[in-house]
Amino acid sequence: MTAATAAAGSSSRRGLDLPRGARIGLAVAAILAGALLPLFVDGGGGFIDDATVALAYVVMALGLNIIVGFAGLLDLGYVAFFAIGAYTMGYFGSLFHITANHGKGIHILVSGPAANLPGIHLNFLIIIVLAIVATTIAGMVIGLPTLRLRGDYIAIVTLAFGEIVQRIAINGDEIKAFGTQLTAGRQGITPVDKIDLPFLAPFTSLELRPWYWVAFALVLIALFVNFRLRDSRLGRAWIALREDEVAAVSMGVPLVKTKLLAYGTGAAFGGVSGAFLGSYLNTVNADQFQFSFSIFVLAMIILGGLGSIWGVVVGAVVLSFINNRLIPDVLNDVPAKIGLNFDLTELSFGIFGFLLVIMMVLRPEGLIPERRRQIELQSGIEDLAVAEESVYEAKVP
Amino acid sequence: MAATSLPAAQPRALRAVRKFASQYGLIAVLLIMPVAFGIHDLRSEGDLSRLGNNLVDGLSNGSIWALVAIGYTLVYGIVELINFAHGEVFMLGSFVSAGFFGTIGLTAATGVPGLVAGLVLTLLVSMIALGVLNVMIERVAYRPLRNAPKLAPLITAVGFSFILQNVGLLWRGGSQQGIEDLIDSQKELVNFVGLSITHGDMLAIAVTIPLVLAMTAFISRSRLGKAMRATAQDPDAARLMGINVDTTISATFLLGGMLAGAAGLIYALYQTTIWYFQGFTAGLIAFTAAVMGGIGNIRGAVLGGLIIGGIQQISDNRIGSEWTPAIVFAYLVLIMVFKPSGLLGEQTREAG
Amino acid sequence: MSKADGSLLEARGVTKRFGGLTAVSDVSFSIPRKAIVSLIGPNGAGKTTFFNILTGLYKPTDGRVSFDGANITAGRPDKIMALGVARTFQNIRLFGTMSAVENVMVGQHSRMKAGLVGSILRPPRVGKEEREARAKAADMLSYVGLDPALHDQLATNLAYGDQRRVEIARALASDPKLLLLDEPTAGMNPQESAALTRFMERLRDELGLSILLIEHDMKVVMGVSEHVTVLDHGEKISEGEAHTVRHDPLVVEAYLGKQEAERQRQESGES
């Protein structure tokens, strides 16, 4: 499977220091466990709900990992791709364009309740393809101005784009295009079509297991793409550019094309996940697309280990759990118990910020570090002189 | 060359267009909005007083941004880091100011001498408190990571900005809070050729100009100012010359924080509402101003602040304040594409 | 600029100004095929700047550069590289967190074809390309003398001499026609320098490469260069065969100062 193909092409010194057989075994076990999980829990309960959302976040984190982890491009505006994917779902899978086709609606390969409603209703798989196209283009457009900027400027420009997209989302109910509003602003596009796959009945909001498995399938595809890219000509080009742009270009790596491919590919993941979430959450509204979400996804890959594929998965699951369950449910009344007058959710921003600071100061290479990043970060943070010494010291033959 | 990592190689014609665009394009783009609306005004109302008032308000708003932008630009010039938490420092400046003058009992009814004394005191308190906060942020978030790849301090800065936002949230809640209109901010003080200058405008200008002049004088003449400039250019050489780089950097953060504290006070009195989230947008707007003027360049930060203030006012007034952030950020992107070194040029380590 | 004159690389009137500073001034230069030539001069003479112009990292303010008949003036570095110009750097610039093999494979980037889709789907063609690239990288590393046990070692962990080897292997990986070496013997002892000199001759004779060398070690320069060009303050002050240039008073003066030049002139006048 994916882990096997990954291990085949790479040297044996990445991530955890386990022998190859153990790593493959662990990966297979994790995948099996993930696939079988829904059979052991309540099909409509909170756990599987959180798990499905967590999987959607894993896909996004894997996408951002390509941009920031592999290619080293500091993207602080990933939420824009989430938005574009979600709005693709909203446009082509809801009543939003209610006047389309003179009120009769456009339907392509849909069945069930959606087949008779006005608005545009396309099959979910078609929407996924559209979302990929839209976000890939958007990713390249957003990436284009950053190509010759240095790291922190890239961060600001991508952040600015994220904000611009959010503003358009919020104010889109004022803009008229092709007879309808551009977006539904804060109220949002709702309801959104449920996923409808061939040979299966359309999903419902009561039985969450099919949603989980769709998200799980998306995660597997995302993992596959990540592993393949990491150990490929393109993956090496990204890492080379990240390490030393001048040297990389002098070795024949085309700067513009390679960076744009990173942005486009990473963005596509956000689009796919966004489209899925648009349907799953049954709404696409502007409040979902805030800057804090971009940082949330970035925190996942930093916590897990920048560039480390399995690390990113772990980071996404952990942060999703902390954000959706630990703080709002499990620990919410802790402050009240010690006599303070607020819920823990009101502190979620601050806790999150604190987590970011602690991570960077204590363990910047993340939970499951990618070996490269460990070297980069540790030799940077520790005494630089020591690192230089080891490079220039000639070892006795 | 400083903002780019590799020089481009393009056909001659394209390069010539780009060079022209980079030198004059930015100015042209900045002028589009005022000129277009000016023409519109002349046609519909026959005079430019509305545009004029936009620009006057823009100058006052802009002076707030200028103060915050100087903070960004000083810090970037010396440590080449974007202090992401700076917007929140500004926000807390407003909060501290509002809290303080509430505590010492200033109200709209306080007599003028008492008011002036009270506000001067508040200004000092705010400046000192936020200066110290900024120094603390440097100690905790930046100093340990000085040799790390740029991602690390950026992340800790964002983390700090979230923590500080939460502080603001807990302090005064999640919605915008009105505060006492101590100086009767909207009341017109003087009317000059149809331009209305209010109390608020006067305050903004009266506080900002002396502060900026003092700052510029300090940097160019004092020993510490020279140390700051030297460290900004070449920290290793500065160290060899006997300059304590750590102290100099802390002093830079102190100055930046003080200016943000002052800006916070002006903002609170001018807008008469404060909000825990005001720092986020303000931070980005002020950073845009700093970049527009040329990062590391104090005069540039002031110029950028005033220009952005003007753009913001025109946008608020003509297009709608919900669109203003998008417009300002679009300008930021344009600057980065065509002239990352800004209008007055960068003054950082690489540009020297 | 015709191919007929047989030069591999031809630079005419190359000038580079950075604001008020003229780093390279009206330098004309040609490199024949299958030859080893050197570019020398005191520190700050503009040698590395000139290299950077040849490889496209800097755009010249004036002048033209042509390579194998094609105009490469102000070309994109990756495109110039694809035409057959490869280089090493004065301060070794390996990709530290990649292994030696992976570094060399990056050097082959322009010779490989797999794109985004190919990298993801990995059809047999791409798989084959990867295997061949990896094998070639291993060959290159052996050719430059890197112990096979170190092939998968992270570049940053290698000894200085080995890192130099990897850098050269990386430059050779794309089968270049011209190799630019920027102070390759820096930090080497005399035996290592001699070994490198012999190696360069092998490259010229076995692989048919031309090599342009920036060097400070006169023994290497004298020993291996067919032609030497001397820069000082951005200008070409002398060129010719190695031993001619060595005794050129202008060159002596540039390196050692007026007094030494005067002294040598007096000495040779007396003898």
Instruction: Read off the pLDDT of residues B288-325 as tens digits, 9 standing for 90 and up.
Output: 999 888 888 888 899 999 999 999 988 888 888 888 99
**A225, A233, A394 ranked by CB distance to C114: nearest:** A233
Q: Is residue A140 in a domain? A: yes
Give chains near B: 3+ CB pairs under 8 A. Answer: A, C
Mean pLDDT of the region B166-172: 89
Interchain pair B170, A342: CB under 8 A: yes
The rounded mean pLDDT for chain A is: 82
The two tokens of residue B256 are: 């930046």
Between chain B and chain C, the number of residue pairs with CB atoms below 8 A apart is: 11
The two tokens of residue B50 are: 């509305």
Interface test with C, best of A140, A233, A234, A382 (most C CBs within 10 A): A233
Q: Which of residues 262-291 of A touch B (CB under 8 A)?
A: 291
Interchain pair C93, A247: CB under 8 A: yes
- Does residue B107 surpass a pLDDT of 70? yes
The two tokens of residue C130 are: 């990867």
d(CA B216, CA A98): 60
Interchain pair A391, C163: CB under 8 A: yes
Confidence (pLDDT) at A315: 93
User: Which residues are CB-neighbours of A175 under 8 A, at least 6 positions away?
Assistant: A168, A181, A182, A183
A54-58, A209-213, C203-207: range with highest mean pLDDT? A54-58
Q: Which of residues 123-162 of A touch B (CB under 8 A)?
A: 145-146, 148-153, 155-157, 159-161
Q: Which of A183-197, B291-305, C10-24, C222-236 has the lowest mean pLDDT?
A: A183-197
User: For residue C74, which residues of chain B lie inside 8 Å, CB to CB?
Assistant: 9
Q: Is residue A236 in a domain? A: yes
The two tokens of residue A183 are: 């977006």
User: For residue A236, which residues of chain C lie inside 8 Å, CB to CB?
Assistant: 98, 102, 105-106, 109
d(CA A194, CA A2): 29
Confidence (pLDDT) at A133: 97
Chain A residue with the nearest C-alpha to that of B329 = A160
The two tokens of residue A109 are: 């390969």
Q: How far is CA A396 from CA A17, B88, B219, C115, in A?
A: 28, 54, 52, 42
- Does residue A107 surpass a pLDDT of 60? yes
User: Which residues are CB-neighbours of C219 under 8 A, at least 6 positions away?
Assistant: C190, C193
Q: Does B114 reach chain A within 8 Å, measured CB to CB? A: no
Give chains near A: 3+ CB pairs under 8 A. Answer: B, C
Q: Does B7 reach chain C within 8 Å, measured CB to CB? A: yes
Q: How far does A147 lie from chain B, in Å, by closest CA?
A: 9
Between residues A250 and C258, which one has the greater pLDDT? A250
Nearest to C120 by CA among A2, A226, A267: A226
Interchain pair C174, A251: CB under 8 A: yes
Q: Are the CB atoms for A243 and A103 separated by under 8 Å?
A: no
Q: Is residue A379 in a domain? A: no
Nearest to A364 by CA among A380, A353, A351: A380
- Does residue C184 surpass a pLDDT of 60? yes
User: For residue B326, which residues of chain A lie inside 8 Å, CB to CB?
Assistant: 163-164, 167-168, 171
Q: Does B193 reach chain C within 8 Å, measured CB to CB? A: no
d(CA C195, CA C176): 21
The rounded mean pLDDT for chain C is: 88
Q: Is residue A303 in a domain? A: no
pLDDT single digits (tens) B174-196: 888 888 777 777 777 777 777 77
- Does residue C146 surpass a pLDDT of 70? yes
Q: How far does C158 lie from chain A, in Å, by closest CA?
A: 7
Q: Does C59 reach chain B within 8 Å, measured CB to CB? A: yes
Residue type, C46: G
Interchain pair A347, B170: CB under 8 A: yes
User: For residue C57, which residues of chain B lie inside 8 Å, CB to CB?
Assistant: 6-7
Task: Return the HEC string of chain C.
Answer: CCHHHCEEEEEEEEEEEECCEEEEEEEEEEEECCCEEEEECCCCCCHHHHHHHHCCCCCCCEEEEEECCEECCCCCHHHHHHHCEEECCCCCCCCCCCEHHHHHHHHCHHHCCCCHHHHHHCCHHHHHHHHHHHHHHHHHHHHCCCCHHHCCCEHHHCCHHHHHHHHHHHHHCCCCCEEEEECCCCCCCHHHHHHHHHHHHHHHHHHCCEEEEECCCHHHHHHHCCEEEEEECCEEEEEECHHHHHHCHHHHHHHHCHHHHHHHHHHHHHC
Tell me the backbone φ, ψ of residue C64, rounded to 5 degrees.
-135, 145
Q: Which of residues 281-320 of B touch A (CB under 8 A)?
A: 284, 287, 291, 320
Interchain pair C59, B7: CB under 8 A: yes
Q: How far does A240 lie from chain C, in Å, by closest CA?
A: 6
Q: How confident is the model at residue B172 (pLDDT cuts 50, 70, 90)?
A: confident
Q: Which of A247-251, A323-327, B92-96, C180-184 has the lowest mean pLDDT?
A: A323-327
**A245, A357, A376 ranked by CB distance to B156: nearest:** A357
Q: How far does B228 lie from chain C, in Å, by closest CA?
A: 25
pLDDT single digits (tens) C31-42: 999 999 999 888
User: For residue B170, which residues of chain A lie inside 8 Å, CB to CB?
Assistant: 342, 346-347
CATH number for the domain spanning A221: value is 1.10.3470
What CATH number was assigned to the domain covering residues B12-338? 1.10.3470
The two tokens of residue A154 are: 């890239």
- Does residue A381 surpass a pLDDT of 50? no
pLDDT single digits (tens) B19-45: 776 667 777 778 887 888 888 877 787
**A155, A159, A380 ranked by CB distance to B148: nearest:** A380
Interchain pair C109, A373: CB under 8 A: no
Q: Which domains does chain C have, with CATH numbers?
A: 3-84+176-270 (3.40.50.300), 97-170 (no CATH)
Between chain A and chain C, the number of residue pairs with CB atoms below 8 A apart is: 128
Between residues B83 and C271, which one has the greater pLDDT? B83
pLDDT single digits (tens) A145-177: 998 887 788 998 999 999 999 999 998 888 777
d(CA A75, CA A218): 22
Q: How far does B163 lie from chain A, in Å, by closest CA?
A: 4
Nearest to C209 by CA among C25, C32, C63, C18: C32
Interface test with B, best of C17, C76, C85 (most B CBs within 10 A): C76
Q: Does C131 reach chain B within 8 Å, measured CB to CB? A: no
Range of the domain at A115: 41-289
User: For residue B7, which residues of chain C lie inside 8 Å, CB to CB?
Assistant: 57-59
The two tokens of residue A64 are: 């951002």
d(CA A130, CA A272): 9
Q: Does B322 reach chain A within 8 Å, measured CB to CB? A: yes
Interchain pair C97, A255: CB under 8 A: no
d(CA C218, CA C215): 7
The H-or-E segment that residue B191 falls in is: strand B188-192
The two tokens of residue B158 are: 């964002």
Interchain pair A392, C160: CB under 8 A: yes
The two tokens of residue A5 are: 């193909």
Mean pLDDT of the region A347-361: 86
Give chains near C: 3+ CB pairs under 8 A. Answer: A, B
Q: How far does A269 lie from chain B, in Å, by closest CA?
A: 22
Interchain pair A243, C96: CB under 8 A: yes
Tell me the backbone φ, ψ of residue A297, rounded to 5 degrees.
-65, -40
User: For residue B9, which residues of chain C lie inside 8 Å, CB to CB?
Assistant: 56, 59, 74-77
Q: Please, which residues bridge with residue A108 across strands?
A: A122
% of residues, chain A, pLDDT over 70? 86
User: Which residues are CB-neighbours of B157 under 8 A, at least 6 positions away?
Assistant: B81, B82, B83, B84, B85, B137, B141, B142
Q: Does B13 reach chain C within 8 Å, measured CB to CB? A: no
Mean pLDDT of the region C129-146: 93
User: For residue C59, which residues of chain B lie inside 8 Å, CB to CB?
Assistant: 7, 9
Q: How confident is the model at residue C264 (pLDDT cuts 50, 70, 90)?
A: confident
Q: How confident is the model at residue A259 (pLDDT cuts 50, 70, 90)?
A: very high
If interface means Cβ-Cβ distance under 8 Å, which residues of chain A face chain C?
Answer: 5, 9, 11-13, 224-225, 228-229, 232-237, 239-240, 243-244, 246-255, 261, 265, 371-373, 375-376, 379, 390-395
Interface test with A, best of B150, B329, B335 (most A CBs within 10 A): B329
3-state secondary structure of A306: coil
Nearest to C85 by CA among C225, C180, C188, C203: C180
Chain A residue with the nearest C-alpha to that of B141 = A357
Burial A183-198 (b: 16+ CB within 10 A, else e): bbbeebbbbbbbbbee
Interface test with C, best of B5, B6, B18 (most C CBs within 10 A): B6
Q: How far does C164 lie from chain A, in Å, by closest CA?
A: 11
A225: left (phi over 0), alpha (psi -120 to 50) or beta: alpha
User: Which residues are CB-neighbours of A80 under 8 A, at least 6 positions away?
Assistant: A138, A142, A161, A162, A165, A166, A270, A289
